Each structure stands twice: as C-alpha cells, then as structure tokens.
Amino acid sequence: GENVEQHPSTLSVQEGDSAVIKCTYSDSASNYFPWYKQELGKRPQLIIDIRSNVGEKKDQRIAVTLNKTAKHFSLHITETQPEDSAVYFCAALTGGTSYGKLTFGQGTILTVHP
C-alpha cells in the first residue's frame, strides 16, 4: 500500500522567514496530493492541493510543488506569520485498486516566532 513520509517533524522559524515541508510517497498510482493545517485543538482543514498533472500551484503565500518522477511534493510558506503556527499534514490519494484511499504523513509542527 501507499506510504507517505513527511519531514521535518518539527520546524521553528522567525516571523517573515520561509518554511518548507517535504513529503515523499511510494505508490506511483497516487494522483492527488492535499495539504491540511490543524490548529491546536481544532480539526484539520485543507489549505492547498495539487493534482498529478500539475507541477506547481500557488495561493498567496502558500505554494505546493510536485515531482512525480521522484515521488515527492513540498509545501512552501513565504513571509510566515505567527498565525501560521500549526500542525501541517501532507496526504496522497491512491489510485488503482485502492481507489479512494487517502494516506497522510506523520505531520509537521510549525512554530513561527514573532
């Protein structure tokens, strides 16, 4: 089955710096890669996603890149703000015989210091 590895597990940056979180996946049939943000005590919420026919997608300060050949994708947050502090999860949606199965990474705790 699919295996998603996420790094780093914790990330600490100063306000205004950039933050990068990386994920690798194992199943070449995976074709959809969302990123979720979970604030303390709250539910995960989608912040950006990318499909396998796209290499990069940007939404204001957030961008995601996908390298299908290497089977990795990354989340980039520029000009970080204290409200970006949260746990971030990457995920991969499997195609093929396990259609509909969403596998998450282990999560990255991002702390933005004012």
Partner 1 sequence: EAQVTQNPRYLITVTGKKLTVTCSQNMNHEYMSWYRQDPGLGLRQIYYSMNVEVTDKGDVPEGYKVSRKEKRNFPLILESPSPNQTSLYFCASSLGSMNTEAFFGQGTRLTVV
Nearest by Cα to 61 from 7, 107, 15 = 15
Which of 22, 68, 72, 101 forms a contact with partner 1 (CB under 8 A)?
101
Which of 11, 62, 63, 102 forms a contact with partner 1 (CB under 8 A)?
102
DSSP-derived 3-state class of residue 97: helix
- Give every CB contact of residue 53 below 8 A, 6+ residues apart in sequence: none
DSSP per position, 44-85: -EEEEEEETT-SEEEETTEEEEEETTTTEEEEEE-S--GGG-
Site string for partner 1, 25-64 (x = CB under 8 A): ------xx-x-x------xxxx--x-x-------------
Taking the complex as a whole, how short is the minimal distance between the CB of residue 7 and partner 1, in angstroms?
12
List interacting residues with partner 1 (CB under 8 A): 1, 6, 9, 31-32, 34, 36, 43-46, 49, 51, 89, 91, 93, 99-107
